[in-house]
Chain A
Amino acid sequence: KAGVTQTPRYLIKTRGQQVTLSCSPISGHRSVSWYQQTPGQGLQFLFEYFSETQRNKGNFPGRFSGRQFSNSRSEMNVSTLELGDSALYLCASRAPPQETQYFGPGTRLLVL
């Protein structure tokens, strides 16, 4: 099976812009989670989607949003970018009830 794919892999934006990141899960995996990784805060949970529904959201402002499509692909959006949004954004998929989350290669976002 193909692994989790994320596009784009690298992104440079300026403050105030918005960005959309995409994640395609492993075939058959209906749960998609997003994580933000920064040197200061480490790995933090953003949100989880299952069957097109957001099941949980981490402690992030409303500028961070996401959605999941009927084919389980997911997108996350960050509006009004701030310098502190520079991070590696990782997507992970899971096939409930299995517990293991499998991660994609990540998208490195740099906000200037």
Chain B
Amino acid sequence: AQKITQTQPGMFVQEKEAVTLDCTYDTSDQSYGLFWYKQPSSGEMIFLIYQGSYDEQNATEGRYSLNFQKARKSANLVISASQLGDSAMYFCAMRDLQGGSEKLVFGKGTKLTVNP
């Protein structure tokens, strides 16, 4: 079974600085997908970025980039130039195909606070 570990319950960053949120995963699959979602206090899960296991380059989406290190089984999210609106919970997730369908397995999340 897939497992996602996020070891940072909370992180603080100054506005305009970069921050890295850690994510490690465990899987026996050769092909897999990793996701990052942002959850503001309103509750909605907002998709940020996706990395496929066979993608040769790290994924980037605007200020978000994914530092994918396959041998270490890590998929850290890097947010550049933090903004106050980045304050939220961040979840790392992995696709799980067991049971005949696609479901997401989530980590416990990291609460990011951006200070002015």
Which residues does A use to contact B, with CB under 8 Å? 31, 33, 35, 42-43, 45, 48, 50, 55-58, 88, 90, 92, 94, 96, 99-106, 108
Seen from chain B, the residues whose Cβ lies within 8 Å of a Cβ on chain A are 33, 35, 37, 42-47, 50, 52, 91, 93, 95, 99-109
Please give, as numbers and ranges, the residues of chain B lying within 8 Å of A88 by CB-CB distance: 43
Asked if B35 and A100 make an inter-chain contact with CB atoms under 8 angstroms apart, the answer reads yes
Q: In the complex, which residues of chain B have a beta carbon less than 8 angstroms from the beta carbon of A58?
A: 103
**Judging by beta carbons under 8 Å apart, are B47 and A102 in contact?**
yes
Q: Is the interface of A mostly helix, strand, loop or mixed?
A: strand
B residues near A108, Cβ cutoff 8 Å: 43
A-B contact count (CB 8 A): 62
Name the prevailing secondary structure of the B interface residues. strand
* CB-CB under 8 A for A48 and B103, given A42-B109, A100-B50: yes
Which residues of chain A are within 8 angstroms of B101 by Cβ–Cβ distance?
48, 50, 55-56
Contacts of B91 in A (CB 8 A): 43
Given A42-B108, A42-B109, A43-B91, are A103 and B47 neighbors across the interface (CB < 8 Å)?
yes
